Structure 1
Amino acid sequence: MAEQIPLTLPEHPRLAQNILHFARALRRAGLPVGPGRVVDAVRAVEAAGFTDRMDFYWTLHACFVSRPEQRLVFAQVFRLYWRDPRYLEHMMSMMLPAVRGVQEEKRAQSAEKRAAQALLGDALPDLPEEPPEEEATKIEVDASFTVSREERLKSLDFEQMSTEEIAEAKRMLARLTLPVKPLPSRRGIASLRGRRIDGRRSLRAALRQGGELRELAYLKPREKWPNLVVLCDISGSMSQYSRMVLHFLHAVANRKGAGWARVHAFTFGTRLTNITRHLATRDVDAALRAAGAEAQDWEGGTRIGGCLHAFNRDWSRRVLGQGAVVLLITDGLDRDDAGLLGREMQRLHLSARRLIWLNPLLRWDGFAPKAAGIRAMLPHVDSFRAGHSIASLEALGEVISSTGDSGEKARLMALLQE
């Protein structure tokens, strides 16, 4: 066993203390920073020195960043913490709402608000209070601000949300529903005004009357409720969207009277994981924590073709009966062979009554099916829709039973044929 090297603090102990507070800010912004990484960072800075800003940046970057999607958050917290005045001004203007007057809105980059809240959340200056004689006006402004904030939150990208906005968005997702219309089955039930004649019941009634057939009995189709099958991509590029979609899915699975016979959920990155049983847990945090512990490939790579092959081979015949609807949540960026992905998508499409693809990349106005994975998947879906905000999930509930809704598929298929 290697001997532990004692930690010796740098010549100026304030630098070590600042690194500690910087690590706490990164942890509040969502990075998995523990005491071991803090110790490694102090030792690395002691070895590399503190003479050049870029060297200092990359030294801390090597200690605290372990995934590509964490780079942007680290860069923003670093600039804000280590005193970039213009960046601090931008963060403050983004964190404070403009109640009076008109202020130019600056669109936050991905995870930018979480970086700002990690450092400024506890130290925001209070807004000036209104004078007592304008109390009625104050109440009116507060009410309108609340409504506009909820409307803005509905259309806000999940990646653009701060920590507080993410918590509020989860509460809003818990109230959403995903109703579905029943399907007519081949079996029938007794009806006074049905279109089909119930021969057996008619003959039994005639036998009671001495064989005389006085009236006919009718049948109407028996209603059946379909299954909802969700295949959710949990790779690194989809991690934030996947968490929000799984919150929404948990609410749908535990909503009584929504109409679904059963909700089946699968996650995939580099392998397929069935998390259906975890959705039965009433506490959403406990359910997602258990699902995350079972899905070992969270925030990893992507093998959509291989995972769909595993689903078609092992699960499609079990869960895709009774006219099931399949929701596929992924950005379509795949490492597998496009031919394999196309074949498995075709098989999945033929097994489901409706296959709906939710892609967060569709939020961009100039989105085009240029990636090989997207080009292979697009022809085999019934509807192609965005899935990046509360509003997009809310709209899904309105069109999921509409067989004529294809979303953006027709427009993108036209681009493929050019």
Structure 2
Amino acid sequence: MSRTASEAATTAAVPALAPTFARNVVHFVRVLRGAGLPMSPSCAADAIEALRHIDLGRRGDVRAALAALLTGAPDEREIFDAAFALFWRDPDFEGKLRALLLPKVQGGVPPPRRNNRLADALATRPAARSGARPPPSHEEHELRAHATFSAEERLRQRDFDTLCADEWRALRHLIRARRLPLATARTRRLKASSRGTHADLRASARHAVRAGGDWTVWKYRAPVERKLPLLLLLDISGSMSSYSRAVLYFCHALLQSRERLQVFLFGTRLTHATRALRERDPDIALAQLATQVADWSGGTRIGATLAEFNRRWARRMLGGRATVLIVTDGLDHDECGLLAEEMARLHRFAHRVIWLNPLLRYRDFAPKARGVQAMLPHVDAHYPVHNLASLEAFARSLCEAKPAAQPARALHMFDERPAQGKTRWS
């Protein structure tokens, strides 16, 4: 028997999966993709092919085969186990889904850690088949359409301090879907390129030697483009709680896209939060931060926390033309002389200092607080951050604006005659 005939006989001996079961496998792969796992259409085909070679009556074998094909990291295995238990075992699908979204506390035991990405993926229904027809309806309905804003557009204009739980979930998905790459700057390093202004004589000579001595092709080198580092100092006091949460979702999206970002939280003390935000699920990351940070939604000591940052972290973190983003309302409970001194020191360390202030949402905002007056002379730009539209505008400015070699200092922040192309507070 030839090799081709042997392979055909072996393939014919393996039973094919039932069409319904195969569709469920495909839908299970879609659920994992919706939960954030890197799935492709070939993963579903490989899973169906692998299940043909094992005993489907042995649940452990099915679980192990799918896990080996569809997961590649420890955090992915945790999501896979939760999805497998809900998708393939429990017939009470809706009940389990509600229990996942709203866990109950019994006997004083803390609820299990939720995974909202898996809940959102399970909540989506498979699309209807193209051949299916809707049931006939003999009723006539009159539809009157009015020109209104969409739910997404309304959410972009809503203040972060007025959002409900469902709107926070929608906001998280909008921020994740609109990740923007940060601006890059040219460095002095050079790399090989097909064109450029720097001729690479060594590479051109090597190519000429390989070509038999004919110098017919020139090689070039071009400057390396590198993303500029960012450092975020985020106020987590009681007055900034909702705005800090939205900015943390934005920082989580940047860290997931591997941007050069360091995050520090401050209230009455300073906390380095970059490692916790590298968790794939943003809600789990924020829950871990809430347990690690003792001064969440407490008071504010901006001057003291800036002094600690300048003493312990500034020289390590603010190299390479780093931009510092300070998110606070400027309401400090300490002496403002210390705040002005530490802001001046931070300004000397950083390439740029940008202040994101939710109080700028008020049209009649004026720098009357002593903390605001102490910070303003030492920042390069002043932006509002109170809704999704303002956060997106600031993100676009980070993507498009290239910092100058010597940025102008904000000496006249509240000039009534705004410069061309800038807002009143820039």
Deviations 1:96-139 (A, max 9, x none): xxxxxxxxxxxxxxxxxxxxxxxxxxxxxxxxxxx95344x25x
Change (3 A) 1:197 1:243: same
Change (3 A) 1:316 1:254: same
1:347 alignment counterpart: 345
Q: How many residues align?
A: 276
2:257 to 255, 258, 274: 255
The yes-or-no answer on 1:327 pairing with 2:334 is no
Rounded to whole Å, the distance in 2 between the matches of 1:410 and 1:134 is 63
1:294 alignment counterpart: 292
Rounded to whole Å, the distance in 2 between the matches of 1:382 and 1:403 is 14
Deviation of 1:197 (Å): 5.1
Deviation of 1:191 (Å): 3.7
Change (3 A) 1:167 1:384: same
Deviation of 1:215 (Å): 9.0
2:361 to 360, 363, 380: 363
Match of 1:400, SS? helix
8 Å CA contact 2:183, 2:402 repeated in 1: no
The yes-or-no answer on 1:279 pairing with 2:277 is yes
Deviation of 1:339 (Å): 2.6
Match of 2:221, SS? strand
2:92 alignment counterpart: none
Structure 1: gaps (5+ residues)? 1-34, 37-130
1:184 to 161, 174, 186: 186
2:227 to 225, 228, 236: 225
Deviation of 1:196 (Å): 3.8
Query: TM-score if structure 2 supplies the norm length?
Result: 0.57
Rounded to whole Å, the distance in 2 between the matches of 1:132 and 1:172 is 37
Change (3 A) 1:207 1:165: closer
1:241 alignment counterpart: 243
8 Å CA contact 2:303, 2:335 repeated in 1: yes
8 Å CA contact 2:256, 2:278 repeated in 1: yes
8 Å CA contact 1:225, 1:322 repeated in 2: no
Alignment of 1:139-150 (within 5 A): 140=145, 145=148, 147-150=149-152
1:372 alignment counterpart: 370
Deviation of 1:245 (Å): 1.4
Change (3 A) 1:314 1:413: same
Alignment of 1:162-173 (within 5 A): 162-173=164-175
1:396 to 378, 394, 398: 394
8 Å CA contact 1:368, 1:412 repeated in 2: no
Match of 2:263, SS? strand
Alignment of 1:42-57 (within 5 A): none
Match of 1:296, SS? coil
* Paired AA for residue 381 in structure 2: S
What do you get for the CA RMSD once the two structures are aligned?
A: 3.4
Rounded to whole Å, the distance in 1 between the matches of 2:352 and 2:284 is 31
Deviations 1:267-306 (A, max 9, x none): 0001000111111111111110111111111111111111
Deviations 1:32-67 (A, max 9, x none): xxx99xxxxxxxxxxxxxxxxxxxxxxxxxxxxxxx
8 Å CA contact 2:377, 2:411 repeated in 1: no
Deviation of 1:376 (Å): 1.5
Structure 2: gaps (5+ residues)? 1-106, 109-137, 417-426
Deviation of 1:208 (Å): 9.7
Rounded to whole Å, the distance in 2 between the matches of 1:134 and 1:190 is 66
Deviation of 1:315 (Å): 1.5
8 Å CA contact 2:306, 2:342 repeated in 1: yes
8 Å CA contact 1:178, 1:396 repeated in 2: no
**Percent of aligned positions with the same letter in both sequences?**
45
1:157 alignment counterpart: 159
8 Å CA contact 2:184, 2:402 repeated in 1: no
Rounded to whole Å, the distance in 2 between the matches of 1:244 and 1:385 is 15
Deviation of 1:349 (Å): 2.4
